[in-house]
Structure 1
Amino acid sequence: MKRLVTPTLAILCAAFSVSSHAQFAKTEDAIKYRQSAMFIQSQHVARLGAMASGRAPYDATAAVANAEVVAQISRLPWAGFAPGTEGGKAKPEIWKEQAKFKELSERLMADTDKLLVAAKAGNLDALKAAMGPLGETCKACHDSFRNR
């Protein structure tokens, strides 16, 4: 039994340590994955933005629910940007300027965490204050790394 467990464990460990590109059968799958995550995130950010701008009534419970989704989803798209997954609306600069791209992705995750804290504060002013930096981070990344 011990002889079977050791090789099986080694294979499982190797499977979990492969590059993120290996998570996707095709480049198109990686592109769809990252675009889907960004789409879902944008839908929930838009709901929060509508509350913050007064286009929709402020609802503290809905704000928290949307901010939770945004904070969680903000961690997902990055696996879809592995080497060899170029394409879609992503500019080639993503793969040429990895440090800048990583810094902006980390800033996005930090901003979405702050957005969640602000939403949990239960007041519109806190939500408004957190939306500004998040929007700036989104814009900075899209200006640098996304084709229109």
Structure 2
Amino acid sequence: MKPFLATTAVGLMAATLAGSALAGALSPEEQIETRQAGYTFMGWNMGKIKASLQGDYDADQVKAAANAIAAIANSGMGALYGPGTDKDVGDVKTRVKPELFENMQDVGKLAGDFKTAADNLAEAAAGGDAGAVKTAFGDLGQACKACHKKYRADD
């Protein structure tokens, strides 16, 4: 394994383990807020990629945004769906449907598909080819929608 890939793999594994341990120490409210922050940050980065694909393509910006998305996708966010996070808690609102917690095998598959799509986007962005990024970005969008359609309530 190349040194960079080995370092990245070790870093992602450590982040996943740390994320799982941290999630157990967080209250349900904090878990909801933390996962929402992660999704908001991914959405912001997806917006930067979309803007770049629709305007003047900025390979460096796209690469940074794709790497941020992949890092969050691989961070172990599933641990932030702990007991008590299936509904609003106090002033903290969630759009997750209760069905998510009843279909963990399907959710796991969708999460795996999302991670794969995020990793593919980061790989395409590293190559610098706008066409490859556009395709990978579309695949990531479909992976997002697959979960949203089933497990996220409308506003």
Please indicate the TM-score interval, normalised by the length of the shorter structure. 0.7 to 0.9
Which residue does 2:118 correspond to in 1?
A: 112
- Post-superposition shift, 1:83? 2.9
User: C-alpha separation between the residues in 2 aligned to 1:29 and 1:35?
Assistant: 10
Please say which structure displays the higher CA radius of gyration: 1
Secondary structure in 2 aligned to 1:82? Answer: coil
Secondary structure in 2 aligned to 1:95? Answer: helix
Structure 1 segments (4+ residues) deviating >3 Å = 18-21
Match of 1:139 among 131, 145, 153: 145
Where structure 2 has 5 or more consecutive residues not aligned to the other structure, the ranges are 1-17, 88-93
User: C-alpha separation between the residues in 1 aligned to 2:150 and 2:22?
Assistant: 23
Identity among equivalent positions (%) equals: 29
Mapping of residues 1-148 of structure 1, within 5 Å? 22-24=24-26, 26-52=27-53, 54=54, 56-76=55-75, 77-87=77-87, 88-148=94-154
RMSD of aligned Cα (Å): 1.8
TM-score by length of structure 1 reads 0.80
2:28/2:82 contact within 8 Å kept: no
Cα 1:127/1:21, change in 2 over 3 Å: closer
**Matched AA of 1:94:** L
When the two structures are aligned, how many residues end up with a matched partner?
A: 129
Deviations 1:36-76 (A, max 9, x none): 10000110011112222x1x310111111111101001123
**Matched AA of 2:71:** Q
